[in-house]
Structure 1
């Protein structure tokens, strides 16, 4: 990286930090802090949900799959889009309709306080460890791209690059602070800004990568045989269908995504946000997975996990590498901030207020929300720093808990629609799925305790068909159990009656919120700065002036259009 790259990265990090601090004025109540006061525009919510799916793994794992297997990586990611569209049609509006501030509030109404405790701690452990691994992986990737002078206190003398410890502390600390200050508003707006930076960097790479390989025709000609197949031996049609179903549960019921449907102004807006999320995932995977696919034809012997980074280094001009580093940071920052905000909201509202201080004022709850955000952030950074010393234990935790995503989230989806299932459905689904997961994935896994001569054939089949087993445990078993329990129980569950009462109270209150225009203003300002940055990079490069100027001009034009439409909307509101 050149000095201009560090400058660009620094400007970006300072910018999102300041946006988070600026948005702190919006948090006057716990509803503002954790549900954006119901004033989030649908497009802000949709873009934020889109970014929440990203992490460092998007570039490392999916980039590696795209480099090795080609188009099938794109097809797998399109499944997220199909799942999100299904969520928009069936689920998203229900979250807003109930008038709850957090998903945990719905869990308590529908299944009781014990279910909230179980979901809170089970999902928190899963997400904290998983996000910590992502933060650690991101830092590993970024420090490799960031050499420093030997005298720099942030430098690791053994590598000459940014110290991994400092990378985790700096990158994690920035996310924690802006999430703590700005709450869900900061999460939403920084996600939107990160969406802009991510796509700007990727759109910039694609034409340069095509040019380096000789054009589209040369890419198609040089690509390996089967590179554009829609499926493979590992990623079959069965896998793709199961991938859609398990992510239908995830997008429809995981708390970070459900919060996006709660924070908008109406049921219609919640549906639109999910449709935007789904539409983007039907269009964008080809765009941001093209660089490693193209790089396969440039360097067929590269490490797949480094393909994305190597493609960036090969084609990006000075200054744009810093923007790409910012984009990679953005991918994980979005996931981190979303999880910090949603669990800080649960600890504040469902644990602190309900169990410890029911008479707490809204101002006090906002303060406690910030305290919980800092505490969770400290734990997250601490776990990230400990990853090298855990001896692979974090992989076991993630493997076990990832098997529980379907069993944990499927009952929530059922609870939105089925009058009959109650708390027993959660315990039954989780218990059976967990035991099966332990037996099939751990006990009969490689070097498992249950592997013997009599079970060796079964163990070999399970290990060779790991994705199929995951889908059976995560989708087939939970759906089958919940279906049986729905038809087995004839009476209406008490939790359903509580939810109906809540909905009736919300309808009777007749509270109406309007989407804020502030997000559009912030986005317009960000695009203007990005456009000016493109022009500012021209003197620092010996070539590529035209493409930098074109990108800058397009961004300035989009900015003008955004402010034009904001002005029109403001005039309509006045009349």
Structure 2
């Protein structure tokens, strides 16, 4: 990194932290600290909701996902707009009417304290893990690519978030997320247009998409019914819908964002704004990854994008075998450049979409893919515990090696900002839930100021827990998938509890509590067996909770007659 990159990176991050801490210090009461005194306008609600979900994992993993697998991942978000409508016109009016601080307060009023505590504990487990991952994700990749100390990065990111989140609570989270989203969107747009500019002069946007399409990267819709296929239209519109309904409707990290709205209408408008913008934003990020793929059709790529693994193998007995694969890849890279150049010239100037050349391009990319798989096998022989999937390193490899001075600092600021944004929401929601649903619920005799201090303490506590988890985490197949998998394991059961509470007045507290416990254990077992895509776990968990609660309530009614 050059001095200019360091200046851009450090000044951006320091401005966000100092501005957030200075503007939001000194909350007078719990309502001010947790709900921003219900003064948040709709556009801030919308930005905060988007920023909470748009973690660093989104901007690191999503382009890499598109580079390897194409645009199909966008189907994951197809259920989101519908979920936003349901939440806006069902969940929000109930939450605001009851004047709750957390979503789980509602459950005690509808069912009993056991059900409230169960839902709160399930949330604390999955959000505690998720918040640790939002810190760990950028740290592991920045550490590998830039040689920075991993533990130090975890601590720095975590402490930066803790500073302003402890100081200002929800208001600090909302205020800083506006600055962070500006940095994030600006950085991604600049990168997108730079990639277009780096492509050969004769390669326009339309032709670039044809090259991507020839390699299956533009296959956006999959209408197959195979439950083992991870991303299809049906899994997105059903499993994705239930995941988004769970996340935005019952996860305090999101519920807390719109509970702070000025009114029911302002909160609803903020969520609908997210529904309109989220899918296009994810489409744009995936498209950026596809353009990175096209860029590397005309530029050399490494055999493996994770430099830590490359270092290991170059210091092992398999060094020569790995170098032999690298030489084969160099030959393929040169062939790709020639074939793609001829293809675009014929396509653009003669309007001829040459099927022979398209087939040749696909064959060369398949050969490249096989070489990468051979490289992964060698890496596994060196260290069987190494994560050989390098999707998360693709995009950062591009920006580190190809972006001009200053812009590298901006893109790193994007990654840090996204990490801080989602982590701040996570810590704020964890602290609010711990204080309101656990501590205050069992110790309701203290002053209002005491609970402000308690929430600040729990923010610090969960911040340290998240840092600790980040320091002991290990890389998964793909970080964005890991976050969604963790959510899918827990969200379905919690959503089922809320859906029964909202729509099925017949079911009482004992029945829903037993049903939720059985449902959650069943989801653990199904996940262990790995018989369906993780997206279906949300649907199964919610449906199972509803059906079991109805059945158990019927049995209990018979016993009482």
Does structure 2 conserve the Cα–Cα contact (< 8 Å) formed by 1:208 and 1:315?
no
C-alpha RMSD of the superposition: 2.9
Does structure 2 conserve the Cα–Cα contact (< 8 Å) formed by 1:404 and 1:430?
no
| Aligned: 1:429 with 2:497 | no
Deviation, 1:67, is 1.4
In the alignment, which of 263, 273, 277 is matched to residue 274 of structure 2? 277
Could you list the runs of 5+ residues in structure 2 that have no partner in the other structure?
A: 306-389
Q: 1:89 to 1:484 in 2, by over 3 A?
A: farther
Distance 1:385 1:417 in 2: 42
Deviation, 1:201, is 0.3
Residue 310 of structure 1 corresponds to 397
Residue 27 of structure 2 corresponds to 27
Q: 1:410 to 1:27 in 2, by over 3 A?
A: same
Matches within 5 A, 1:120-519: 120-146=120-146, 161-213=147-199, 214-223=203-212, 224-232=214-222, 234=229, 235-241=231-237, 242-299=239-296, 303-313=390-400, 315-356=402-443, 358-388=444-474, 402-442=488-528, 444-445=529-530, 462=531, 465-467=532-534, 470-471=537-538, 473-481=540-548
Q: 1:197 to 1:422 in 2, by over 3 A?
A: farther
Distance 1:421 1:367 in 2: 38
Distance 1:347 1:441 in 2: 28
Deviation, 1:207, is 1.3
Any idea what the Cα deviations from partners look like across 1:298-346, whole Å, max 9, x if unmatched? Answer: 2256643222213323553321211111111222222211121122122
Deviation, 1:185, is 0.4
SS in 2 for 1:139: helix
Q: 1:479 to 1:201 in 2, by over 3 A?
A: farther
Tell me the TM-score normalised to structure 2 length: 0.74
Deviation, 1:26, is 5.3
Q: 1:424 to 1:66 in 2, by over 3 A?
A: farther
Does structure 2 conserve the Cα–Cα contact (< 8 Å) formed by 1:88 and 1:271?
yes
Residue 49 of structure 2 corresponds to 49
Any idea what the Cα deviations from partners look like across 1:13-42, whole Å, max 9, x if unmatched? Answer: 211211232133351101111111011111
Does structure 2 conserve the Cα–Cα contact (< 8 Å) formed by 1:85 and 1:279?
no
Q: 1:90 to 1:20 in 2, by over 3 A?
A: same
Residue 509 of structure 1 corresponds to none
Does structure 2 conserve the Cα–Cα contact (< 8 Å) formed by 1:26 and 1:32?
no
Tell me the TM-score normalised to structure 1 length: 0.72
Does structure 1 conserve the Cα–Cα contact (< 8 Å) formed by 2:500 and 2:546?
no
Q: 1:485 to 1:15 in 2, by over 3 A?
A: farther
Does structure 2 conserve the Cα–Cα contact (< 8 Å) formed by 1:178 and 1:186?
yes
SS in 2 for 1:230: coil
Deviation, 1:240, is 1.5
Paired positions, count: 453
Q: 1:122 to 1:16 in 2, by over 3 A?
A: same
Does structure 2 conserve the Cα–Cα contact (< 8 Å) formed by 1:94 and 1:267?
no
Any idea what the Cα deviations from partners look like across 1:468-493, whole Å, max 9, x if unmatched? Answer: 753553344335445667999999xx
Distance 1:42 1:400 in 2: 29
Does structure 2 conserve the Cα–Cα contact (< 8 Å) formed by 1:403 and 1:437?
yes
Distance 1:488 1:311 in 2: 60
Does structure 1 conserve the Cα–Cα contact (< 8 Å) formed by 2:489 and 2:524?
no
Does structure 2 conserve the Cα–Cα contact (< 8 Å) formed by 1:34 and 1:345?
yes
Could you list the runs of 5+ residues in structure 1 that have no partner in the other structure?
A: 147-160, 446-461, 492-575
Q: 1:220 to 1:346 in 2, by over 3 A?
A: closer
Q: 1:489 to 1:23 in 2, by over 3 A?
A: farther
Does structure 2 conserve the Cα–Cα contact (< 8 Å) formed by 1:400 and 1:438?
no
Residue 520 of structure 1 corresponds to none
Greater RCO, CA 8 A, separation 6+ = 2
SS in 2 for 1:103: coil
Does structure 1 conserve the Cα–Cα contact (< 8 Å) formed by 2:48 and 2:174?
yes
Distance 1:113 1:467 in 2: 30
Any idea what the Cα deviations from partners look like across 1:529-566, whole Å, max 9, x if unmatched? Answer: xxxxxxxxxxxxxxxxxxxxxxxxxxxxxxxxxxxxxx
